Amino acid sequence: MTTVIVLAKECVPGRVKTRLTPPFAPEEAAALAAASLADTIEAAGRVTADRHLLWFDGTAPRGTGFDVVQQPAGGLDERIAAAFDAVTDRAVLVGMDTPQLDPAVLQDVLDDDAADAWFGPATDGGWWALGLDPMPRRGDLIRGVPMSTSRTGAATHLRLADAGLRVRPLPTLTDFDHVAEALAVADAAPLSRFAAQLAAFPARRLAVA
């Protein structure tokens, strides 16, 4: 049994991608987040798995074909840990801000029997994907890890290694929190909804390029 989990939240202006403002208005940053979420859901939905789960904060988009579960309260580490503890099979979790992700990479995680954990580092020092085989209280591998820092990836990887897991690295991707990163992501996925949405703001794009 296998599960793909997309960790996401409602794209409300002023609550998502706030580090994109300025130069973008809160409504524009929210539109970029929504486009990225749509791209991510589409890519994750192309992965052959027994279950597709949207681990969501807020009102989820309709018609995704994913099972929707509301995130519990707590810090990001607690919410990610709860997602892994909520499923009992092999699971791979991705966030909503790497719309350039390749579904084949996630498929390889679910089909690979040569590792116990799969780790996708991000260029900012965090991570964009984490896969874990079934194990008791596997969410404890994440609880207490400092999130949204340049050390998050290293701290997470250390937890996996200290647990004696065979860790397989995944490609390094850029997630977008700042404008330069958004431009890099759009360049990596020029046909995505995200790239199209970013291109709808040409004056700002030229101003920061």
Domains contained in the chain, CATH given: 2-208 (3.90.550.10)
Amino acid at 82: A
- Tell me: pLDDT of 13 over 80: yes
pLDDT of residue 209: 46
Residue 170 CB coordination number (10 Å): 22
- Tell me: pLDDT of 139 over 60: yes
- Tell me: pLDDT of 201 over 90: no
Mean pLDDT across the stretch 158-175?
97
pTM of the model: 0.95
First to last CA, the chain: 45
Q: Which residues make Cβ contacts (< 8 Å) with residue 49, sequence separation at least 6?
A: 2, 3, 4, 110
Partners of 118 in the β-ladder? 131, 168
Mean pLDDT computed over every residue of the chain: 95
The C-alpha torsion from 113 through 50 and 43 to 93, rounded to 10°, is: -60
Q: What proportion of the chain, given as a percentage, has pLDDT over 70? A: 96
pLDDT of residue 134: 95
Beta strands in 10-148 (DSSP E): 51-57, 67-70, 90-94, 117-121, 127-132
